[in-house]
């Protein structure tokens, strides 16, 4: 009976499905480098603390402008996540326990560190927690909703956990996307579905802004940021068809065109900060979705310059521990922040001290977390292959 059910649910290979369904996409070391680049950009914007006021120095002001654009690392994370997860979902169509295996493996990867961190935050801040809305928002992955950003600040909890909104976007997306993949099943139809849904995101953003929504809503709401995830999903499906090489050859010109368009927005606005630019909050996120996805496609071409660059050992190291680094890095400021601001009076010295202290705390903690805490959970994934 099991064999009959498996045969009934396994979609037939289409003529354009040129890769066998078992093990289509091996692990690529360069993709770890893409993840490392993403976390490096996030660290750039979060750890190079600055008051952002012009200094009068052309060089320093340029560095600050580049630093302010580091938030695009999150968009690269989204595109890579959409690419990898969609590949897993599509390649496992027709296998037993499709949903169970996907969601259990997702839980084993994400939940231990996430909820372990929340427990520590709860124990530290609970004595003065008069309003539980922010805590419940974190527990139920709602920190990208008005429940979070309109809620009262609680002992700096927004500063320590505000960056976790991107995890909420991904988890909410994966409550829906696996079911669409399972229901539609056909690769070409899924390609069109991903494209159509991705094109809806800028339309929704324009509509929301026209009706008075703040930039924070278009920056953090899942439906507004799904174009990056869906662009990565589109690429995962595209490279599993007969036009794989055409897609990969087109990646470089598409990437540089998107980057130039983003630079034009930055030049016109004076910076590339989502907090102050209408253009970024309408078309900018879509341009970043295309750029991030194109970069991944460039990396997929073996022997390319992009692939070689993403194989740099330090990028791959950052990529391996990127999840722990991302979760921990803002919270590390709780340890040293006030002390440094009281005792370091040089503005440049404070920049350097904050960066150094954070890395000295965050990187070892992420390493220890992965090897001593997360790995026992990750080893359980073999039972849900």
What are 232-241's pLDDT values in tens digits? 999 999 999 9
d(CA 231, CA 295): 12
290, 194 Cβ separation under 8 angstroms: no
What are 333-381's pLDDT values in tens digits? 777 777 777 777 777 777 788 888 889 999 999 999 999 999 999 999 9
Mean pLDDT of 153-176: 86
The candidate with the shortest Cα–Cα distance to 327, out of 179, 194, 167, 188, is 167
If pLDDT is split at 50, 70 and 90, which confidence band does 7 have? very low
d(CA 336, CA 358): 8
CA 203 and chain centroid, separation: 21
Strand, coil or helix: 25:
coil
Q: Could you report how far apart the first and last alpha carbons of the chain are, in Å? A: 21
Mean pLDDT of 19-40: 78
How many C-alpha atoms does 368 have within 13 Å on its Cβ side? 7
The predicted model scores a pTM of: 0.89
Residue-wise DSSP of 275-291: TT-HHIIIIIHHHHHHH
How many C-alpha atoms does 251 have within 13 Å on its Cβ side? 26
84, 179 Cβ separation under 8 angstroms: no
Mean pLDDT of 21-36: 77
Give the per-residue pLDDT at 10: 40
């Amino acid at each position: 009976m099991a064999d009959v059910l498996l045969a009934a649910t396994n979609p037939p290979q289409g003529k354009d499905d040129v890769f066998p369904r078992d093990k289509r996409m091996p692990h690529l070391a360069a993709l770890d480098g893409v993840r490392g680049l993403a976390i490096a950009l996030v660290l750039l914007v979060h750890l190079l603390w600055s008051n952002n006021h012009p200094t009068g120095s052309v060089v320093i002001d340029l560095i600050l402008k580049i630093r302010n654009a580091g938030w695009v690392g999150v968009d690269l994370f989204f595109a890579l996540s959409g690419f990898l997860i969609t590949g897993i979902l599509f390649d496992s169509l027709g296998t037993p326990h499709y949903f169970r295996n996907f969601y259990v493996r997702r839980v084993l990867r994400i939940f231990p560190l996430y909820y372990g961190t929340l427990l520590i935050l709860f124990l530290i801040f609970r004595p003065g927690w008069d309003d539980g809305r922010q805590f419940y928002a974190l527990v139920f992955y709602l920190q990208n909703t008005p429940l979070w950003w309109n809620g009262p600040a609680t002992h700096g909890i927004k500063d320590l956990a505000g960056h976790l909104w991107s995890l909420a976007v991904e988890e909410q997306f994966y409550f829906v996307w696996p079911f669409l993949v399972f229901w539609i099943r056909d690769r070409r139809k899924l390609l069109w579905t991903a494209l159509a849904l991705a094109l809806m995101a800028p339309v929704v953003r324009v509509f929301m802004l026209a009706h008075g929504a703040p930039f924070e809503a278009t920056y953090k709401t899942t439906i507004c940021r799904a174009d990056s995830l869906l662009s990565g999903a589109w690429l995962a499906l595209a490279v599993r068809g007969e036009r794989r090489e055409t897609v990969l050859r087109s990646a470089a010109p598409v990437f540089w065109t998107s980057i130039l368009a983003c630079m034009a927005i930055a030049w016109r606005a004076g910076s590339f900060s989502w907090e102050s630019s209408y253009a970024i909050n309408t078309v900018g996120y879509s341009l970043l979705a295309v750029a991030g996805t194109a970069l991944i496609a460039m990396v997929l071409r073996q022997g390319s310059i992009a692939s070689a660059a993403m194989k740099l050992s330090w990028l791959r190291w950052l990529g391996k521990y990127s999840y722990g680094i991302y979760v921990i890095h803002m919270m590390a400021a709780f340890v040293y922040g006030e002390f440094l601001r009281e005792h370091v009076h040089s503005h440049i010295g404070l920049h350097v001290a904050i960066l150094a202290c954070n890395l000295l705390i965050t990187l070892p903690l992420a390493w220890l977390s992965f090897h001593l805490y997360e790995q026992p959970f990750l080893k359980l994934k073999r039972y849900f292959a």
